[in-house]
Chains A and B, each alone.
Chain A
């Protein structure tokens, strides 16, 4: 399991593991502090004729919460993850196929959506699906005093005035997806985006190191 410590942008300790499940074509587990998500990818696989798209693959995302059945909140998170994945995968290389991404929440201690995005990216890489760029998720919280915290815990999220999650791409560090909650000014939004872009560098470097380690083991 690859582990990385926190830095001056103060991300919690994170770690990941790839290819841990034997049935899916790609799988990964991503841990940020105490938040932990496991992802499995199946594809490109057969698709029902009613659901197939003639010129690209169809991507389905399922998020299973730790307790209970998926509800509306999981549906909105699924939409965020799906749009991010569709923007970075080369879906036109597998027309009339289906890709299924299943995310299981093992523990939620804040920054859940960004942990889901990171686990999804590692699982898609593990499955060998063609991608045009990588993506990562970063969550920022703005406290009542106006301070910006990256990668907040559940307690910090509860006390915050605003909560934002951004998906950043690896090619030009642009924002691919944003999901925000609470009240904040335009200036604060721009500051959060800048902080997230800086934090994404650490995460991409971590992706690179963990993939390097994986390929150096098996030769």
Chain B
């Protein structure tokens, strides 16, 4: 699953007039794109940079398309250079998306992400929700499916809500909503009776949410359970008995540090009833 907050970096293209007055569009062949591609899957540290150096020879005969590189979290543009600002592995999604995959525990709110929040206060017409970030998010009581001024939603302090960020940037207080743009809940809202909420790292959450991932398919072979995944590193699990719920919670927490081999081994042992 790709994290949010991507910025677009366009490589430069200049226009040149020849002596007849006709226009020739020439693109500076920038080696930055190929240099980025060379270092995909390399571990990079903050301070490493990719510069927009140009070749000395500009080709006037071939028509070269301007290349756009979309840079994600961990890469920042400073003047004419692309600087790495977090340590991690450089990933690439063809055709032109690059980002740094880093292991982090602290969540920073980003627009559009679905998270699990805990309601901490009811003040007037908004609920204050703790999402694990640097400040509490606000959730309006009208942002629930079927809620009107007369028909208030049944939300108490301490409830768990699964909601989506509609405003989340560094300058403003984050705002959540339990309905999407068409007014439907789509799986969001209050939940949580009888399950267990626990914290994992953000990397594990992204792995769980990516399509065709092995952890989820391995988990499906065990007991039937309900799993809610919040992108702020919170997971909620409910299974048919307390013991099974605890087993699944422990398995998911230990998945962070295990290789695929060890994980399959552990799941197989659980399936055989050894644990």
Give the interface of A toward B (CB within 8 A). Answer: 19, 25-26, 43-47, 90, 93-98, 125, 127-134, 169-171, 207-208, 211-212, 215-216, 218-219
Indicate if the CB atoms of B105 and A25 lie closer than 8 Å.
yes
Given contacts A25-B106, A44-B108, contact A218 B257 (CB under 8 A): yes
- Interface centre among B102, B106, B259, by most chain A C-beta atoms within 10 angstroms, is B106
Indicate if the CB atoms of A95 and B47 lie closer than 8 Å.
no
What residues of chain B lie closer than 8 Å to A45, measured between beta carbons? 106, 134
Tell me which residues from 68 to 91 in chain B have a Cβ below 8 Å from any Cβ of chain A.
76, 78, 83, 85-89
**Cβ 8 A contact of A215, one of B76, B78, B88, B108:** B88
What residues of chain B lie closer than 8 Å to A98, measured between beta carbons? 134
A42: min CB distance to chain B, Å? 8
Bound CA span A127–B85, Å: 12
Indicate if the CB atoms of B45 and A207 lie closer than 8 Å.
yes
B24 interfacial contact with A, CB 8 Å: no
B64 interfacial contact with A, CB 8 Å: no
Q: Contacts A43-B106, A211-B45, A218-B259 given; 8 further ones with Cβ under 8 A?
A: A128-B86, A129-B86, A130-B85, A132-B78, A132-B83, A170-B47, A215-B89, A218-B103
**Cβ 8 A contact of B46, one of A95, A133, A219:** A133
What residues of chain B lie closer than 8 Å to A219, measured between beta carbons? 259
What residues of chain A lie closer than 8 Å to B47, measured between beta carbons? 131-134, 169-171
Indicate if the CB atoms of B45 and A128 lie closer than 8 Å.
no
Bound CA span A47–B43, Å: 33
Task: Using CB atoms, name the residue of chain A closest to B256.
Answer: A218
**Cβ 8 A contact of B134, one of A26, A44, A170, A215:** A44
B212 interfacial contact with A, CB 8 Å: no
What residues of chain B lie closer than 8 Å to A97, measured between beta carbons? 134-135
Tell me which residues from 82 to 127 in chain B have a Cβ below 8 Å from any Cβ of chain A.
83, 85-89, 102-106, 108
B150 interfacial contact with A, CB 8 Å: no
Indicate if the CB atoms of B45 and A125 lie closer than 8 Å.
yes
Indicate if the CB atoms of A127 and B46 lie closer than 8 Å.
no
Chain A interface main SS type = loop
Indicate if the CB atoms of B87 and A96 lie closer than 8 Å.
no
Indicate if the CB atoms of B45 and A26 lie closer than 8 Å.
no
B80: min CB distance to chain A, Å? 15
Indicate if the CB atoms of B103 and A46 lie closer than 8 Å.
no
Bound CA span A131–B103, Å: 15
Indicate if the CB atoms of B86 and A95 lie closer than 8 Å.
no
Given contacts A170-B47, A211-B45, A215-B89, contact A95 B170 (CB under 8 A): yes
What residues of chain A lie closer than 8 Å to B256, measured between beta carbons? 218
A120: min CB distance to chain B, Å? 14
Bound CA span A131–B74, Å: 10
Task: Using CB atoms, name the residue of chain B closest to A95.
Answer: B170
Tell me which residues from 31 to 46 in chain B have a Cβ below 8 Å from any Cβ of chain A.
43, 45-46
B175: min CB distance to chain A, Å? 16
Produce 1/0 per residue, B126-163, CB < 8 A to A. Answer: 00000001111000000000000000000000000000
B171 interfacial contact with A, CB 8 Å: yes
Bound CA span A212–B43, Å: 6
Indicate if the CB atoms of B46 and A215 lie closer than 8 Å.
no
B167: min CB distance to chain A, Å? 15
**Cβ 8 A contact of B170, one of A93, A125, A133, A170:** A93
Indicate if the CB atoms of B135 and A131 lie closer than 8 Å.
no
Indicate if the CB atoms of B106 and A131 lie closer than 8 Å.
no
Bound CA span A203–B192, Å: 49
Indicate if the CB atoms of A215 and B171 lie closer than 8 Å.
no
Indicate if the CB atoms of A127 and B105 lie closer than 8 Å.
yes
What residues of chain A lie closer than 8 Å to B102, measured between beta carbons? 128
Bound CA span A149–B103, Å: 37
A202: min CB distance to chain B, Å? 15
A170: min CB distance to chain B, Å? 5
What residues of chain A lie closer than 8 Å to B257, measured between beta carbons? 218
What residues of chain A lie closer than 8 Å to B86, measured between beta carbons? 125, 128-131
Given contacts A125-B87, A130-B76, A211-B45, contact A96 B135 (CB under 8 A): yes
Bound CA span A205–B206, Å: 30
Indicate if the CB atoms of A127 and B43 lie closer than 8 Å.
no
Q: Which 3 A-B pairs have the closest CB atoms?
A: A128-B104, A97-B134, A133-B47
Bound CA span A19–B106, Å: 13
Bound CA span A125–B170, Å: 20
Bound CA span A216–B87, Å: 13
Task: Using CB atoms, name the residue of chain B closest to A44.
Answer: B134
Given contacts A25-B106, A44-B106, A130-B86, contact A96 B134 (CB under 8 A): yes
